Amino acid sequence: MRQIFNWIRRESLERGLDRELQYHFDRRVADLTAAGMPEPEARRRIAVELGLAQVREEVRDIWLTRWLRDFLYDLRFSTRSLLRSPAFTGATLLSLALGIGATTAIYSLVDQVVLHSLPVREPERLVLIDWKGEQLANGFGSYNLMSYPICRDLQQQIDFFQGVLCRAETTVNLSAGGDPKPVGAEIVSGSYFAVLGVGPALGRIIEDQDDAAPLAGPVIVLSYDFWQSQFAGAPDVLGRKVLVNQHPMTIVGVAAAPFRGIDVGVVPAFWIPASMSEQVVPGFHDLLDRRTRWLQILGRLRPNVTTAHAQAGLQPFFKAMLEEDTHRAGFPTVTATDRRRFLASTLQLTPAPQGHSGLRRSLSQPLWVLFAATGVLLGLACLNVAGLFLARGSARGREIGTRLALGASRGRIGRQLLADGLLLSLAGGALGIALGPQAIRALIAFLPREVASNALHASLSPHLVAFAFLVSVASGILSSLAPAVHAGRYNLIASLRERGGSGLGGIRLRKCIVTLQVAFSLILIVGAGLFLRSLSGLLAKGPGFDTAKLLSFSLDPEKNAYSQDQARQLIRRVETELRAAPATRNSAVARVRLLTGGSWNNPVTIQTDHRFTSDRDVEMNAVSPSFFATMHIPLLAGRNFDEHDSRPIGETGRRSVIVNQAFADRYLDGRDPLGVRIGSGTLPETKTDIEIVGVVGDISYRSLREPSEEAWFPIFEGDDAMGTFYVRARGTPEEAFQTIRQIVHRADPQLPILSFRTVDEQVGRSLSTERLLAALSGSFGALALLLSLIGLYGVMSFVVTQRTRELGIRLALGATGASAIRLVLRDAAAMIVAGIAIALPCVAALGRLVQSQLFGIAAIDPATVAGASLLLGGASIAAALVPAWRAARLRPTDALRLD
Binding site for another protein (CB under 8 A): 2, 16-17, 19-21, 23-24, 26-28, 49-51, 54-55, 58-59, 61-63
Residue 54 C-beta: closest distance to another protein, Å: 6
Residues 673 and 305: their CA atoms lie apart, in Å, by 58
Residue 56 vs 579, nearer CB to another protein: 56
Residues 518 and 839: their CA atoms lie apart, in Å, by 8
Residue 30 C-beta: closest distance to another protein, Å: 8
> CA dihedral in degrees (31, 32, 34, 37; nearest 10)?
-170
Residues 835 and 521: their CA atoms lie apart, in Å, by 9
Residue 167 is inside which H or E element, if any? Answer: strand 161-175
Residue 38 C-beta: closest distance to another protein, Å: 19
Residue 35 C-beta: closest distance to another protein, Å: 13
Residue 56 vs 702, nearer CB to another protein: 56
Residue 33 C-beta: closest distance to another protein, Å: 14
Q: What angle do CA 302, 212, 226 make, to 5 degrees?
A: 80
Residue 47 vs 234, nearer CB to another protein: 47
Residue 412 C-beta: closest distance to another protein, Å: 23
- Cβ neighbours for 313, distance < 8 A, ≥ 6 positions apart: 159, 160
Strands 677-680 and 584-590: unpaired
Residue 16 vs 653, nearer CB to another protein: 16
Identify the bridge partners of residue 724 per DSSP, sorted by sequence position. Answer: 554, 590
Residue 20 vs 179, nearer CB to another protein: 20
Cα–Cα nearest to 391, from 881, 798, 788, 94: 798
Residues 588, 626 contacting (CB under 8 angstroms): yes
Residue 13 C-beta: closest distance to another protein, Å: 9
Residue 65 vs 686, nearer CB to another protein: 65
Residue 49 vs 236, nearer CB to another protein: 49
Residue 54 vs 333, nearer CB to another protein: 54
Residue 60 vs 579, nearer CB to another protein: 60
The identity of residue 153, as a single letter, is: D
Residues 23 and 29: their CA atoms lie apart, in Å, by 10
Residue 5 vs 73, nearer CB to another protein: 5
Residue 58 C-beta: closest distance to another protein, Å: 4
- Cβ neighbours for 195, distance < 8 A, ≥ 6 positions apart: 162, 163, 164, 165, 298, 299, 300
Residue 44 C-beta: closest distance to another protein, Å: 14
Residue 504 C-beta: closest distance to another protein, Å: 48
Residue 55 C-beta: closest distance to another protein, Å: 5
Residue 28 vs 730, nearer CB to another protein: 28
Tell me the three state secondary structure of residue 379: helix
Residue 58 vs 179, nearer CB to another protein: 58
Strands 656-660 and 690-696: parallel
Residue 62 C-beta: closest distance to another protein, Å: 5
Residues 282, 721 contacting (CB under 8 angstroms): yes
Q: Is 669 exposed, middle or buried (0-12, 13-18, 19+ CB in 10 A)?
A: exposed
Residue 17 vs 216, nearer CB to another protein: 17
Residue 72 C-beta: closest distance to another protein, Å: 18
Residues 885, 821 contacting (CB under 8 angstroms): yes
- Cβ neighbours for 518, distance < 8 A, ≥ 6 positions apart: 788, 792, 831, 832, 834, 835, 836, 839, 872, 876
475-508 burial by CB neighbour count: b if 16+ within 10 A, else e? bbebbbbbbbebbeebeeeebeeeeebbbeebbe
Residue 407 C-beta: closest distance to another protein, Å: 25
Residue 26 vs 642, nearer CB to another protein: 26
Residues 281 and 277: their CA atoms lie apart, in Å, by 6
H runs (alpha helix) in 2-64: 2-8, 10-34, 39-50, 52-64
Half-sphere exposure of 189 (CA within 13 A, CB side): 27
- Helix, strand, coil in percent for the chain, rounding step 5: 55, 15, 30
Residues 723 and 623: their CA atoms lie apart, in Å, by 9
Tell me the three state secondary structure of residue 563: coil
